[in-house]
Structure 1
């Protein structure tokens, strides 16, 4: 796995050798970023289930200003920190080690606001809706924030109140859904 484009392009990333995380493939990642618009002008990113940190790092590489990358798994946190170090731009990243709900509450106390949020949790269906609802309740999203939710092709998700589903991509056995925060 590697950083595909932007400032940190072509750097190979470390991955956790475990069944606990399943890294987003380069093919899915490239399609995902191509469909969002390849490059960006500032903003803040949250990757709530970081795994290797690849999505948050890719977003900053392509022009987002900062990324917060969270994971509950200690091994994943070590990999994320190694991958952030590869950027030689560590000040643009915050790495959190907590469960998703604790991370969201912590970020609310920090008055964080996000323009892009990646959600790729295990047992996706219930958790994605719960996370999206909590993001709104805690006022963690800027106007028109984009939520990118990745699931397997058997998971169906109802669009939570406060969001509009803007598009869906089927990429093999992966479905990526793009939601916009309603204003």
Structure 2
């Protein structure tokens, strides 16, 4: 696992020890950023099921100003912090150990809007539609912002959720990437 492009291109990232997380492969990560970028001029990203932090770190490396990382697993939080330290991105990030529902409630109270939200929940616990509805109902995504969902190919997401419409959808083996844009 590594940073694919941008400021920290080629820098290796640590994976979360054990089998509790499923890291996004470099091939899929590169494809995601080719679809949504590939480079950015500022903005705020949310990596909601951050795991090792690879998606949020890639976003910062490619020009996103700041990223918030959330995961409920203690080992994942430790790994994110180590990866951010290795990339020298600690000043451009916030890391929280929390479940997704509580994290979204806390973010709603802060009245933050994101340019990019990455949703890569464990395949057995996916509740993507509901989470996107909460995000949109509480204005957590800026206009023309994108929600990147990584999910099992057997999960079929609707083409529209509220004012978010499917921008692109690609299949990589048993993984599907569905990207919504908020209009």
Structure-1-length-normalised TM-score: 0.95
Paired with 1:28 and 1:64, the residues of 2 have a C-alpha distance of: 19
Aligned to 1:122: 122
Offset at residue 126 of structure 1 (A)? 5.0
1:80-104 deviations in whole A, cap 9, x for unaligned?
0000101113110000110101101
Paired with 1:126 and 1:32, the residues of 2 have a C-alpha distance of: 19
3-state DSSP class of the match of 2:91? helix
Gaps of 5+ in 2: none
Q: 1:41 to 1:87 in 2, by over 3 A?
A: same
Offset at residue 130 of structure 1 (A)? 1.1
Aligned to 2:77: 77
Paired with 1:174 and 1:123, the residues of 2 have a C-alpha distance of: 10
Paired with 2:179 and 2:26, the residues of 1 have a C-alpha distance of: 18
Paired with 2:20 and 2:138, the residues of 1 have a C-alpha distance of: 28
Paired with 2:79 and 2:12, the residues of 1 have a C-alpha distance of: 12
Matched, 1:36 2:36: yes
Contact map agreement 1:125 1:156 (CA 8 A) in 2: no
Paired with 2:130 and 2:46, the residues of 1 have a C-alpha distance of: 16
Structure-2-length-normalised TM-score: 0.95
Where do 4+ consecutive residues of structure 1 move more than 4 Å? none
In the comparison of the two structures, how many residue pairs are matched?
182
Aligned to 2:179: 178
Paired with 1:13 and 1:37, the residues of 2 have a C-alpha distance of: 21
Paired with 1:137 and 1:66, the residues of 2 have a C-alpha distance of: 23
Gaps of 5+ in 1: none
Contact map agreement 2:52 2:80 (CA 8 A) in 1: yes
